[in-house]
Amino acid sequence: MSKKKTVFIDGPIDPAFISDSITKHSTKTEIGGHSIFLGQVRADEIEGSSVVAIEYTTHMELAEQKLYKIREDTFQKFDITCMHIYHSLGIVKTGQICLFVFTSSKHRKEAMESNEYLVERIKKEVPVWGKEILENQEYSWKINQ
């Protein structure tokens, strides 16, 4: 069983935090491959107005339960060494990072496949909602593709 980890971060995920996470793994010499997914807020156009930010909210208890299950399933399905998931809450402006998923394994294939599996499950199953804030001060609820 993996230990329960903090996933949610207030605001955007700082690139220095991502860099620090990668640097900390250099001492783990059994790792041969890392896979990283970074989700960034896009300036989509909705009804003639551009998205300037997304405000993320969640049902914390349910989200943490879902994420714990997804982590456990991923560790059972793939031979990975490390897994880190971070998701923003609150306002994240276009161009900023809102999701950071980082997997490590002895071999690259397991790291890459587990990372894609994680991202797909997070997007489909975890109750995180995004309110897209438009330049005209209107908003629209984000629909995951």
Domain map of the chain by residue range? 8-141
Q: Which of 141, 124, 130 is nearest to 46 (CA)?
A: 141
pLDDT per position as a tens digit, 58-89: 999 999 999 999 999 999 999 999 999 999 99
Band of pLDDT at residue 1, cut at 50, 70 and 90: very low
Question: What is the length of the chain?
Answer: 145
Q: What are phi and psi of 53, to 5 degrees?
A: -170, 165
- Calculate the alpha carbon distances from 67 to 83, 96, 108, 112, 121 in Å: 12, 23, 23, 19, 9
All residues at 6 or more sequence positions from 120 whose CB lies less than 8 Å from its CB, including other chains: none
Tokens found for residue 126: 């975890």
- Please give the Cα distance from 88 to 18 (Å, whole number): 13
pLDDT the model gives residue 139: 84
pLDDT per position as a tens digit, 14-40: 999 999 999 999 889 899 999 999 999
Q: Which CATH class is domain 8-141?
A: alpha beta
